[in-house]
Amino acid sequence: MNANLAKAEVIFTSLNWNNVTADNILQQSLGSKEQHTLNNLELTPPSGIAAVLKTLLEKMIDNPINALINANYIGLIIFWGGIGLALRHASQSTKTMMNDLSYAISFIVRVIIRFAPLGIFGLVASILAETGFDELYKYAHLLVVLVSCMLIVALVINPLLAYLVMRKNPYQLVFTSLKESAIPAFFTRSSAANIPVNIEICKNITWMKIPILLQYR
């Protein structure tokens, strides 16, 4: 009896060991296969202007729902631009409703942007609680470099380009843009979320350039 029990225990232990070994081998082989696939993955740039134009055309005629999910702003602009052109012949009550809806969406976006600094403060507090001040020092170094580059572009390069085009003092426009647009853009870190703010600033001029140039930025 004892010999049979010992044999059964040896066989059971051997089976368990075989299962564990097989699982490990399977996991290792899958991991090696995935790693091999990642190593062989290469990004291919467009082959020419034809490929770029083809991609642009595909973005323009994309399904609006799919464009919204994939943040395809060109497709959204084309679709809603067509809707806007069609609504030119709508009744006055429909136009009033669309204007009210546009104002409501812009108001919600502005409220969310105003609360963005609180979210950033929460993220920083969470990082401090988990890692201490060491990570904050690294982030502060990155922040100094980032803000310095932004200030050079905003206060030197962009005004110089604007002066070369307008032959006028550009700093009044620069400071207005920094106050109304740059601060929300900096705290949200999203150019797309800042589009309504930019449109509100210059809704009477160059309103189409903002979303189009944003897509090619």
The pLDDT tens digits for 85-141 are: 888 888 888 889 988 988 898 888 788 878 878 888 888 788 788 877 777 777 788
193: three-class secondary structure by DSSP: coil
Give the whole-angstrom CA distance, residue 33 versus residue 36: 5
Look at residues 195, 113, 191, 182 and name the one whose alpha carbon lies nearest to residue 150.
Answer: 182
Q: Where are the alpha helices (DSSP H) in the chain?
A: 2-40, 49-60, 64-69, 73-86, 92-131, 133-152, 158-166, 171-177, 183-188, 195-201, 209-215
Residues 6 or more apart from 71 whose CB is under 8 A from it?
A: 192
- Check whether 5 has a pLDDT greater than 70: no
With beta carbons less than 8 A apart as the criterion, state whether 188 and 194 touch. yes
Give the confidence band of 152 by pLDDT, cuts at 50, 70, 90: very high
